[in-house]
Structure 1
């Protein structure tokens, strides 16, 4: 059977909701061509787009939308079940899930908060948060096993994004406990319905408290935009949810995977700790090798689109999943060693881990700054850091969206 017949024969590839082998799944999908028909949980049909050049063309195409409310007939006609576990990814009304003028309107107040000047000004604060977390780790007893994800990779971005939002300290733990639920693709319909409700309740509490005590933070700025008539109440809450997701999950997984990759490639670690390679280069290879968001949901075809290079026709109403994990391992871009972690790679920066076009991740520069700071500080403080388990014992997150580990057991040395 040819690749073309595989991708159009009515025998779509079912994504594994457990995310047990994201890279293996990406490799299998690449074999099926630049884009392949898939089934999402609940037997929802879609395309998985794996070819980086095709991804770039589609992400800037005027007839590819992020708005299910306007451009997904199955959603509009209520053929998507109300209890579909992934429904919150298309229900929201923020800059990530809108199109055209609506997207630009909702993007504007967020873009100002994440401009390069403001991000660079946060460097001392990020360093201070990093140092505090490392100081606590330094009190661990000799021989004790430390979960580096739970104790370092996870809280660092959470503390940063909560500072960006102006979230009071007593709310930090509550946000920590519910964020992961939004990315878990193994939840039952009941569990999946509960997660957004919990997040929205917390966001409602945050908005109430920031109305009483506004500050120089993103939440206060978004409240001002709501009061000026630029956002609805729903858009205000969903925009805060976007900041939490964009400012946290990507960075956690970036730090997580890059730490593991360096610990399992001591020759690579030696290159960077000796100063032969910059930490910025390590971060870019980490983004390429293990895209923090493996698959991003969803885009929709506004009217039939035939790609001029591949000849694939995406029909009006088709749903698209962008497979960033597979794109990062594309052998046409990165050569026969695309599956290997190599911080000397000349194409390391040629990745799509933060997206492309109008929906480029608004927290991308903040994530890079946090990762550079975290990695350099961690390996300076603990030069003898090592895994406490073999690499094959590390368990992936239960998600085909979020690409990280459940735990990173380590000895600090």
Structure 2
């Protein structure tokens, strides 16, 4: 019998605006579906984990890109051994001591932005968008003289597709090559091939800035909407927000050989969409209240917002730090903050990502 459950098409914005009802139905009835010829969608926690943990079967190479030259691939588009080598070289830049040293920068930048909030402010424009750019600029060692250019690039580069044809690319590349020889990423880039280093800086701007903006917007919206506007229990609230509202909805992989996934045949070369946003709400993993915001539930860090396996997010610790500190500062500086009357969620992001496009708020003046 043919299933009548509505499919989830990752390339249809009407499906990704509010994906969760479709994904819940698929988890119950059709754990692997085929919304497009040669494209399979996997939605259950156990299956998504199995895919992300097996790069030999499920390749990341050249996914989400039209770039033809192999040497211009981002870290997320490489397989072992290339991915293993490059990640090992870059990992020290995201180590515990480096991340902890950035906390005063995050706190200072967040305080400046929080203190500037005015009545009727949009938190996306005034806080959740500029903060990730400012922190990444500090991480990259951006000088005051370069700050305006960097901020423009962070807004101009929005994806990994054909980036070298972008009119801003030559100026960005000149800056990036200078940054490689400077303090960017705790000096780690000096140990990496220059072309790879330039590509990685671009990747940080394209992936790091928007995803942090969306994650921070999702967190603030959750805290305000769930009446959790307090610093108490904030680390658990951060994890619960990431679980329920991951900024990246899914990850793409390509089958390297014929196989079977959850009883569904998959041919070599076919695409597989591992929907982490669905896995994060799977009752088999998270219980019958998987759709509820419940900070303090067991195993809060077991969600897949940062992926799993060799491609687990290299900057997860830095992201967690920024989310926690930004929320702490905003709550401390604006304890009476609340959503504007009549607020309605309007989605920002591309096919893969999701967060609030605007967060109009009521600000209490001193």
User: Normalising to structure 1: TM-score of the pair?
Assistant: 0.78
Q: Using the TM superposition, name which of 167-176 and 402-411 deviates more.
A: 167-176
> 1:200 touches 1:237 (CA, 8 Å); kept in 2?
no
Which aligned segments of 4 or more residues in structure 1 are displaced greater than 6 angstroms?
none
> 1:295 touches 1:324 (CA, 8 Å); kept in 2?
yes
Alignment counterpart, residue 239 of structure 1, candidates 200, 203, 212 = 200
Distance across 2 between alignment mates of 1:327 and 1:335: 12
How do 1:216-227 residues align onto structure 2 when only pairs under 5 Å count?
216-218=183-185, 221-226=188-193
What is the CA distance between 1:341 and its match in structure 2?
1.7
Distance across 1 between alignment mates of 2:46 and 2:312: 16
What is the CA distance between 1:331 and its match in structure 2?
1.6
Indicate whether 1:145 and 2:145 are aligned. no
**Corresponding residue of 2:147:** 169
Cα offsets for 1:292-324 (capped at 9, x unmatched): 11122x2111112334xx333322111112212
Indicate whether 1:261 and 2:217 are aligned. no
Q: Relative to 1, partners in 2 of residues 1:38 and 1:106: Cα closer, same or farther, differing over 3 Å? A: farther
**Corresponding residue of 1:395:** 346
Indicate whether 1:210 and 2:179 are aligned. yes
Q: Relative to 1, partners in 2 of residues 1:237 and 1:356: Cα closer, same or farther, differing over 3 Å? A: same
Distance across 1 between alignment mates of 2:292 and 2:81: 41
Alignment counterpart, residue 374 of structure 1, candidates 319, 326, 331 = 326
Alignment counterpart, residue 160 of structure 1, candidates 122, 130, 135 = 135
Q: Using the TM superposition, name which of 193-202 and 145-154 deviates more.
A: 193-202
SS of residue matched to 2:174? helix
What is the CA distance between 1:354 and its match in structure 2?
0.1
> 1:295 touches 1:323 (CA, 8 Å); kept in 2?
yes
Q: Relative to 1, partners in 2 of residues 1:198 and 1:53: Cα closer, same or farther, differing over 3 Å? A: farther
Cα offsets for 1:258-278 (capped at 9, x unmatched): 111111111x33xx44x3xx2
> 2:98 touches 2:186 (CA, 8 Å); kept in 1?
no
SS of residue matched to 2:159? helix
How do 1:15-164 residues align onto structure 2 when only pairs under 5 Å count?
15-17=11-13, 19-39=16-36, 45-61=38-54, 62-68=56-62, 87=66, 92-137=72-117, 140=118, 144-164=119-139
> 1:210 touches 1:219 (CA, 8 Å); kept in 2?
no
How do 1:188-207 residues align onto structure 2 when only pairs under 5 Å count?
197-198=166-167, 200-207=169-176
**Corresponding residue of 1:409:** 360
User: Normalising to structure 2: TM-score of the pair?
Assistant: 0.87
How do 1:312-327 residues align onto structure 2 when only pairs under 5 Å count?
312-327=264-279
Cα offsets for 1:149-184 (capped at 9, x unmatched): 1111111111111221223312232123214x328x
> 2:247 touches 2:355 (CA, 8 Å); kept in 1?
yes
Q: Which runs of 5+ in 1 are unaligned?
A: 73-84, 184-191
**Corresponding residue of 1:286:** 241
Aligned pairs, how many?
A: 358
Q: Which runs of 5+ in 2 are unaligned?
A: none
Indicate whether 1:340 and 2:292 are aligned. yes
Cα offsets for 1:335-365 (capped at 9, x unmatched): 2222222224335333100000000001100
SS of residue matched to 1:247? helix
> 1:334 touches 1:347 (CA, 8 Å); kept in 2?
no
Distance across 2 between alignment mates of 1:244 and 1:129: 18
> 1:159 touches 1:172 (CA, 8 Å); kept in 2?
no
Over the residues paired in the alignment, what is the CA RMSD in angstroms? 2.9
